[in-house]
Structure formats: C-alpha cells, structure tokens
Structure 1
Amino acid sequence: MASNSKTFFAPQLFIPSGVTDISFYSKAFDAAELRSWRNEDGSIHVAELSIHGAIFHLHEERSAKGQFEPNKIKGVTTLIGLFVENVDAVMEKALRAGAILLSPAQSFDYGYRQGDILDPFGHQWLIEMKI
C-alpha cells in the first residue's frame, strides 16, 4: 500500500449508533462513499467519504471516549468549512437534501461569501468561497 506523502485534514464526524442511511452527503455535496464498515445490523460503524477529493469519515459515536454526535449534546464542537465554487448553488442543493439553514449566504468585506447549514446529524457546515 502506497503511503500518502501529503498532509491533509480528514474530519471524523460522529453520528448516532444505528444509522443506516447517510445519503444526505451524496445528495447535498455529491460525496462519494469510498468504503464503509457496517455493524451486524447493517448500521454504519465507519464510512469514508470524499467530496471532490476531500476525505472525511462518519463514525458511530463512542460515548466511552467522550465522542458524541452533536444532537445528543445539543451543540457542536467544530464547524466544518467547505470551500466550493458556488456557495449559493451548494447551499440550495444541501437544503433540498434535508439541511437546515442557519444563516443565508452573504458576501463579507474580508473577501469571502459564506453561509451556514446544519446537516441531519447535527453537524454545522460553513459553505464558503473566496470572492
């Protein structure tokens, strides 16, 4: 197996135990499921996904390690920034796929266009682009 010589971030997003449907990510962001490990009941243990080459993982929560899915703690511990070519188009697609709008896209004087959404598992995404 070839090693990856490039350093990059690969977020681990915690989801509730028992989840079988993670199609939100493909519908909202065109994410491709690269591989997954499932529990005996067919639920996700770990899934590796890619959004145009950017890898992230979904992992069932691990309470014993203090790693909870956001809806359980009614909050978030991280905001996922996703840089795209068209903020408005990606946000609209995500909303149609089931995301909740937290703040509409707007252009800021510091040179970014950004908007916030909440995915069905409670993760907050900052959809953004340089302008």
Structure 2
Amino acid sequence: MSQEVSITHFAPELHIPKGTFQIDFYSKWGAVEHFCFRNEDGSIHVAELDFDGAIFHVHETMRGNALEPKSAMGVTTVIGLFVPDVQKVMDRAITAGAILVNPTTDHDYGYRQGMFQDPFGHFWQIQKKI
C-alpha cells in the first residue's frame, strides 16, 4: 500500500528477535498490515503496519549494536500513541495479549494515559489530552 504523507510524522521501527515468525498481536489489537517481507526461512524481516493511521514498522534485529527489549533486558523506548478513547485502545491491547503496565488514569498535568507492554517487550503509552 502506497501512501503519500503530507505532514511530518514519526514512524517508529520496533525491533523484534531474529527468527520471529508471527506478529499477530498487532492485528489482534487492531493494526493493519501494509506489507511484510520474510526471510528465506519464513521469519519476518520487516513489516509495516498502522494503528488508525499511525504508521510503525517491526524489523528483525540485525545490527550488532541494535537491541530489542528482551535481549536488552529492559525498556528500549516508549511509544506514545494519542487516541480519542484511551480505555478502548487499552482494553483491545490487553485482550490481544498485552501486559498491563499502568491502568488508564487521568493525571493532573492534563493527560489521560495508560501503558501496556506488547509481546515483544515494547512499551506503549496510550494517551489523550483532557
């Protein structure tokens, strides 16, 4: 799928372990896969997805100094995703297999936020300004 983008935006690349064959968590959560290139053994090399128009990529870890969360044994980044209904997106993620990190909460600084960890260890902060 080819999309022309008329505004500046981020498209994070989330590293997954080499030899990963399934990324179905993302489609169960509601992301749409644009493409998925596989290696000769059928494992995923790179895939492009979007969640309600927010594009992101998952890519096998190939470079010596690039880590994915499990091999790094910790959080490598937090993906902040602004959505209209934080709780709905959080519920869909948990149902799809995510782990709840922080429940949806309204904060004094004017944000409603919740955080989950996806099956590959990536932290997603789902949020909206209130």
> Please, what TM-score do these two structures have when normalized by structure 1?
0.91
What is residue 44 of structure 1 aligned with on the other side? 44
Matches of 2:41 and 2:21, distance apart in 1: 9
Unaligned runs of 5+ in 2: none
Instruction: Work out the CA distance in 1 between the residues paired with 2:105 and 2:39.
Output: 41
Stretches of structure 1 that go unaligned for 5 or more consecutive residues are none
Distance 1:104 1:2, change over 3 A: closer
Instruction: Name the residue aligned to 2:32.
Output: 32
Report the Cα distance in structure 1 between the residues aligned to 2:6 and 2:91, rounded to whole angstroms: 35
Could you list the structure 1 runs, at least 4 aligned residues long, displaced by more than 6 angstroms after superposition: none
What TM-score, normalized to structure 2?
Answer: 0.92
CA distance in 1, matches of 2:98, 2:33: 19
Look up the match of 1:7: 8
Same amino acid, percent of matched pairs: 56
Q: Contact 2:37 / 2:44 at 8 angstroms: preserved in 1?
A: yes
Residues of 1 paired with 2:6 and 2:61: CA distance? 29
CA RMSD of aligned residues (A): 1.6
Partner of 1:19: 20
- Amino acid of the residue matched to residue 45 of structure 1? H
> Structure 1 residue 60 and structure 2 residue 60: aligned?
yes
The offset of 1:101, in angstroms, is: 0.6
The equivalences for 1:86-105 within 5 A come to 86-105=85-104
Q: In 2 relative to 1, CA 5–91 (structure 1 residues): closer, same or farther, beyond 3 Å?
A: closer
Q: What residue in structure 2 maps to residue 70 of structure 1?
A: 69
Deviation at 1:6, TM superposition (A): 2.8
Partner of 1:119: 118
Do the aligned residues in 1 keep the contact of 2:98 with 2:118 (CA within 8 Å)? yes
* Separation (CA, whole Å) in 2 of partners of 1:2 and 1:78: 26
Q: Is the 8 A contact 2:104 2:113 kept in 1?
A: yes
Cα distance change on mapping 1:114 and 1:37 into 2, 3 Å:
same
CA 102–38 in structure 1, closer or farther in 2 if over 3 Å, else same:
same
Query: How far 1:26 sits from its partner (Å)?
Result: 1.4
